[in-house]
Amino acid sequence: MSNPSLEITFEFQVQHGSNGSGGEHTDSLEQHMLFEHTRASLERDIRRKLGRIVCGEHHEAPKIHITCTYDALNDQMDVNWNIDTCCKLFFVQVVKTLNQVN
């Protein structure tokens, strides 16, 4: 049996103002650095918490997809998580583990 491993994927988007303006405060290099820092930080934390966790029944690791949307007009970023697991019981375990403070 192969050793299942945690999958983490990221998607980054930049949202500009409705009139096409926005982003005057943050250039593309700054956005790249912001996205890279966010990706590295989130991935490090997720791997620390979930790196070895697998479903006890199905022996599958979770799949995590994170979408970060940067609002260039307001200099804000929304981070959305999609957690894919083999069963509901394992989903609850993964969410509980991610929500732990340590």
Range of the domain at 66: 7-99
Residue with more model confidence, 39 or 74? 39
**Which residues, 6+ apart, have CB-to-CB distance to 67 below 8 Å?**
10, 11, 12, 13, 79, 80, 82
Q: Is the pTM above the cut of 0.85?
A: no
What is the tens place of the pLDDT at every residue in 55-74?
Answer: 999 999 999 999 999 998 88
**Which residues, 6+ apart, have CB-to-CB distance to 28 below 8 Å?**
none
Q: How many domains does the chain have?
A: 1
Domain contains 67: yes
pLDDT tops 60 at residue 37: yes
Domain contains 63: yes
Domain contains 33: yes
Helix (H, G, I), strand (E, B) or coil at 70: strand
Percentage, residues of the chain above pLDDT 70? 87
Please tell me the predicted confidence (pLDDT) of residue 3: 59
Domain contains 37: yes
